[in-house]
């Protein structure tokens, strides 16, 4: 006959409680680590979108400026009527492309906010109501962006110079 000897160890109910407590502590620490990872990832993603917005917005502003200055001889300089004219400027016999393609808003908005002067396209802006992370070190042209509370206040605008009206010369 074989007798089994029971180990005189810690009672089972106490072991279960310690293991459960340790498991809950480990899960809480993993949750905190995961939350910080997600926050860092979201911040990095927004920084990328802001950088892309600066690039794309400036592409639109430059295209509007090129369109304005590229008026054919004998025709007045005007701003484009819309984005389509930036993609295909048909004022010349051989159409000119001032903007490579119609870029999407980096913040995922369906359309750009178009800024118009006299009914003509003068600039673009994102319509996203997102607080920017970037608050300094903007190019000089966009120094006012440092004061913006939302990226929708980052306006990429080309203001044409005021028209010079020739003054009549007195006749002798």
Kindly state the tokens that stand for 25.
């502590």
Residue 30's H or E segment, with its range, is helix 12-69
Half-sphere exposure of 35 (CA within 13 A, CB side): 6
pLDDT one digit per residue (tens) for the chain, 172 residues: 666 656 555 556 656 677 778 888 888 888 887 787 777 667 889 999 999 999 999 999 999 999 999 999 989 999 999 999 999 999 988 999 999 999 999 998 889 999 999 999 999 999 999 999 999 999 999 999 999 999 999 999 999 988 755 566 666 6
pLDDT at position 164 is 59
């Amino acid at each position: 006959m074989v007798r089994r000897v029971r180990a005189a160890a810690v009672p089972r109910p106490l072991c279960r409680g310690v293991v459960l407590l340790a498991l809950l502590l480990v899960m809480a620490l993993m949750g905190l680590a995961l939350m910080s990872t997600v926050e860092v990832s979201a911040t990095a993603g927004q920084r990328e979108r802001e950088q892309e917005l600066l690039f794309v917005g400036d592409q639109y502003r430059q295209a509007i400026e090129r369109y304005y200055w590229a008026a054919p001889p004998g025709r007045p300089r005007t701003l484009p009527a819309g984005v389509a004219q930036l993609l295909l400027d048909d004022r010349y016999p051989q159409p000119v492309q001032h903007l490579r393609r119609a870029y999407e808003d980096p913040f995922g908005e369906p359309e750009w906010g178009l800024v118009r002067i006299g009914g003509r396209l003068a600039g673009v802006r994102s319509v996203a109501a997102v607080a920017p992370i970037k608050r300094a070190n903007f190019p000089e042209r966009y120094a006012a962006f440092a004061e913006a509370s939302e990226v929708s206040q980052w306006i990429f605008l080309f203001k044409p110079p005021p028209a010079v009206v020739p003054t009549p010369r007195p006749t002798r």
